[in-house]
Amino acid sequence: MEEGEYLAGERKIAEFDVDAMKIVWAGSHHAFQVSDRISRLVASDPRAFIPAIKGQATDEQQKKWLPLAYNMQIIGCYAQTELGHGSNVQGLETTATFDPETDEFVINSPTLTSSKVTRGGKVVHSKAPRQLIYGTMVAVRKNIVSGASTALSRAICIATRYSAIRRQFGSQNGGCETQVARFLMKMVFQLGSGKQPVGTTAYMGQVEHLMQCCCSVQSAEDWLKPNVILEAFEARSVRMSVACSQNLCKFQNPEEGFAELSADLVEAAVAHCQLIIVSKFVEKLQQNIPGKGVKKQLEILCNIYALSLLHNHQGDFLSTSTITSEQGSLVNDQLRSLYSQARPNAVGLVDAFNYTDHFLGSVLGCYDGNVYPRLYEAAWKDPLNESVVPDGYHEYIRPLLKQQFHNARL
């Protein structure tokens, strides 16, 4: 098989418009265009650089610098992090002194710990025009979740592509080998777990209903109804929160109660966060999403995400009487059906992330699926293989191999 054809068959069976899905993953057509240029040209950091211009610059500065940044005609970075300081803005040691004569800021790194550890070294009497100085850290924090999503999507992209290539365990009847992906897809639910707080508790207004309601699921197909899924997650979250509140009331000292119930409180917080993520996913799917088959695939992914969380945390739903054990079994039945629907589109879905091989930095997750020749080539490029005998062998390893060991005697 020629290079570049290894995943062609997987891509042909995709049941949706991959190019349209790329825009959905990016968030908007404009965001896709920007990220596409960035991934193809340079690994800069637009999540800090461009927002700094948008949030801190004057209208005149934005007019000048934003077009250049969007078109990758200028490359910027956020160079705050110092060797001795992470996010402690008050502890930064780098100095910026304004020089009125030259209308510039003079930047210095007076100590070792003020050295920039990720974007450069120490700064010694470096001058920068006043209009190039921006202070930021306001918008960057909210992008942490987005950054985590990008890292997770890269891992999924690599794992999915390689799983479509890697074959394991030959069948007993001599037929085609079973692909690892068939097993891997059943484990995907373990990857999604949000633990960052989300700023909304609107569903708490239905506390009376949610404390008394019963799940209406009677068949596996019922778990595909968005309102059924949302009510189950809302009831679980409310009941866990109420239980924590009731238990806290038993302690005269609130601090002691929080310490004693810390595990329960964390579980209640996780339940809340998972509810918010599921609800936002469902909310997004109520909108018009263009592209052939795109919305259908997103609905499948939404159901897989929600039901895998429910299956993985079934103990919470059962202990709070949100669902019955029979309804919990139906969740697993529906998940198996959803996995089989998602499997033909797995490679196309990760293609829609639009990551270049350079950005992924993975031989196993390369776009063309030509894994093993690439792996072999990469091994030969390793510095250890530049010579027949690696450096240090004669000096350190060979003497150890040649020395005589004597058995200890008691």
pLDDT tens digits along 322-332: 999 999 999 99
Of 35-49, 294-308, 382-396, the least confident: 35-49
Q: Decide if pLDDT at 280 tops 70.
A: yes
Residue 87: pLDDT over 90: no
Window from 195-204, 279-288, 307-316, 344-353 with minimum mean pLDDT:
195-204
Check the CA dihedral 349-353-357-361 and report its sign: negative
pTM, full prediction: 0.59
pLDDT of residue 194: 39
List C-alpha distances in Å: 131 to 76, 101, 103. 14, 15, 9
Residue 95: which of 120, 125, 121 has the closest Cα? 125
Query: Can you tell me the mean pLDDT for 334-340?
Result: 95
Per residue in 241-262, pLDDT (tens digit) is 888 888 877 888 877 877 787 7
Write out the two tokens for 40: 């193809």
pLDDT band at 185 (very low <50, low <70, confident <90, very high): very low
293 or 391, greater pLDDT: 293
Model confidence at 44, in pLDDT bands (50, 70, 90)? Answer: very low
Q: Which residues contact 168 (CB under 8 A, 6 or more apart)?
A: 177, 178, 179, 180
- The continuous run of DSSP H or E covering 307 comes out as helix 294-312
